[in-house]
Structure 1
Amino acid sequence: MGKLDTYKLYDRVVEVGRVVFIAFGPDRGKVAVIVDIIDQNRALIDGPATGVTRKEIGFKAIHLTKFKVNIQKNIGTPALKKLWVREKMDEKWSETAWAKKLLSRQRREKMTDFDRFKVLKAKQARTRLINEEYSKLKSAAASSKSKKTKKSTKAKK
């Protein structure tokens, strides 16, 4: 069982320093750090750079991210903020596909009816251009193929 012993089943575990995304509650959509684990259902989180005050939160209300900040248990808010800025966690988070998807979802929710109409027309124009170019390439390929077959039939005679 050599390979099974070294196989890592989970890479996102609940631990001090784990960066979490808050999915429910008043701070929904914000990112924070686990500062302490209270029990099997709750943790103490803090997000001084993201506007999340230090508070306890249930594990069902958060999602674990792939990021981890190396901190000590019960680190103070000012020290955590310095580490957050030094490790550029805001930039790392905003570069993830997860954050980009959330941002696009927020933009879509804020769109008016006219904005949705403009997006529809832009998509139609884009599709039209793609289809025109595709048909040109397809016809060029078909004509070059027919020329090749004519040459090969002449060579056989």
Structure 2
Amino acid sequence: MPRTELTEEEKLNIKKKNLLFKRFVEPGRLALIEYGPYAGKLCFIIDIVTLTRVIVDGAFITGVPRMVIPLKRLKLLKERINISKNCKSGFLRKTIKSTNVLDTFNKSNLGKKMLIKKKRDLATDYERFQIFYAKRELKKKMNILQNKKVSESKKENKGDKKKAKKVKKVKKIAAKK
């Protein structure tokens, strides 16, 4: 059987499928700080200091100053911008605004969850009560509908059983004749 050569595109696809990790620690990678005074804020990796520490910056947009932070405190996200190592905050800010990276993050599932959590945290006591009351009323209506469906299906099953008994009796009588 002759051996066929793979095209460059096929080789790239094979390499992409075999990658163990999809999100690398690299300059321009968007990250979420999970621990510390800036927990819950977004930042961009600017440079790698050691295997366990990186320099991050929020470019006056996300509220994170330029600082060194351990990788254990970061969650790497899918979004990335093209910047050079150790770029300045002004250039980073312009790049963020021109690429709309934060908008694409806000459209992602994690961004939506964070937005909902922030709204919940900022809700007043009365707003939380309104949400609780609306959920309670919705659950009541759902239970009523569920009970109606169950009772209807039980009625149908009873009717089916009676019909089945009649059919059996008719078959027995027909078999005897």
TM-score bucket (shorter structure)? 0.7 to 0.9
Q: CA deviation at 1:133?
A: 0.5
Q: Unaligned 5+ residue runs, structure 2?
A: 1-13, 171-177
SS in 2 for 1:36: strand
How many angstroms apart in 1 are the aligned matches of 2:163 and 2:82? 70
CA RMSD, 1 decimal: 2.5
Cα drift, residue 44 of structure 1: 1.7
How much has 1:64 moved relative to structure 2? 1.4
The secondary structure found in structure 2 opposite 1:12 is coil
Write out per-residue CA displacement over residues 50-88 of structure 1, whole angstroms, 9 at most, x where no aligned residue: 233333323233221122222222233333233323332
Of the candidates 146, 149, 154, which is equivalent to residue 142 of structure 1? 154
Taking the TM superposition and a 5 Å limit, the aligned residue runs for 1:1-157 are 7-48=18-59, 49-156=61-168, 157=170
Runs of 4+ in 1 over 4 A off after TM superposition: none
TM-score by length of 2: 0.71
For residues 135 and 104 of structure 2, the distance between their equivalents in structure 1, rounded to whole angstroms, comes to 31
> What do residues 82-135 of structure 1 show as CA deviations (whole Å, max 9, x unaligned)?
332333211222223333333333333334443333332222111100000001
- Tell me which moved more, 92-101 or 32-41: 92-101
Cα–Cα, structure 1 residues 86 and 152, in superposed 2: closer, same or farther, change >3 Å? Answer: farther
Name the structure where strand makes up a greater proportion of residues. 1
Structure 2 CA distance for aligned equivalents of residues 130 and 76 of structure 1 = 56
Classify the secondary structure of the residue corresponding to 2:27. Answer: coil
Q: State the distance in 2 between where 1:74 and 1:118 align.
A: 49
Please, what TM-score do these two structures have when normalized by structure 1? Answer: 0.78
Structure 1 gap ranges (5+): none
Per the alignment, in what secondary structure is the counterpart of residue 53 of structure 1? coil
* Overall identity of the aligned pairs, in %: 31
- Number of equivalent positions: 153
Structure 1 residue 142: Cα displacement: 1.7
Larger relative contact order (Cα-Cα within 8 Å, sequence gap ≥ 6) = 1
Distance in 2, Cα, partners of 1:117 & 1:50: 31
Q: For the residues of structure 2 that align with 1:53 and 1:47, how far apart are their CA atoms?
A: 6
